Amino acid sequence: MTGSRPPSRSRIPGSGLAKGLAVTLRTMTKRAHTAQYPDVQPELPPRSRGVIGLFEENCTVCMLCARECPDWCIYIDSHKETVPAATPGGRERSRNVLDRFAIDFSLCMYCGICIEVCPFDALFWSPEFEYAETDIRDLTHERDKLREWMWTVPAPPALDPAAEEPKELAAARKAAEKLAAARAEADRSEAEQAAGAPDATGPAAPPAEGGQA
């Protein structure tokens, strides 16, 4: 036994055309808006994903961004330098020095993984988008260009007043309050000791009886 098909709705001939004409009529009554680019720059959202800016001072050459990049479009070169001991008898340290940091924007898919995984806040989104080139090989931008884009990174949005205080600020505030309380206690102890000590500049004691004038 085969199931019966539900009866199809009867459609009025030309109803689809009428709906299309209705959309056209509604659009014709609205004023057209033309973006006068490039004479007038567009107003982009503050957190637009344009290009990636590099804050070189925060980069420790941990290579985490290059390893996590799904397109392998980040190129990093570095070398090691020996840092002398800070104190006599101390031990020398070695640190990584950044030589090259480049991003091939012809491969980048703007996923933002490199920015999210950076543990030292060295990468940021910049709303800049005018970096087209006539040669695809010129879309590999070195760290000097990435550093220029860093200065166009907008400030982060303000925190929610009802949000929990960051752990770093809470620890710093508690340490400052503890130090202020210790200083206040020390000042109070000094004031009490000064109040209880004899006054060296007070009046002299009267001479003993029978003494010479």
pLDDT at 45: 82
Look at residue 190 in the predicted model and tell me its pLDDT.
Answer: 87
What is the spatial distance between Cα 177 and Cα 65, in angstroms, rounded to a whole number? 38
**What share of the chain in percent tops pLDDT 70?**
87
The total number of residues written for the chain in this structure = 213
pLDDT at 3: 56
Span 95-118, average pLDDT? 93
Torsion of CA 52, 57, 58, 61, to 10 degrees: 90
- The amino acid at residue 203 is P
Residue with the larger pLDDT of the pair 59 and 30: 59
* Across 152-160, average pLDDT: 82
Q: What is the pTM of this model?
A: 0.60
Please count the CA atoms within 13 angstroms of the CA of 183 that sit on its side-chain side. Answer: 6
Return mean pLDDT, the chain: 85
Distance CA(60)–CA(120), nearest Å, equals 8
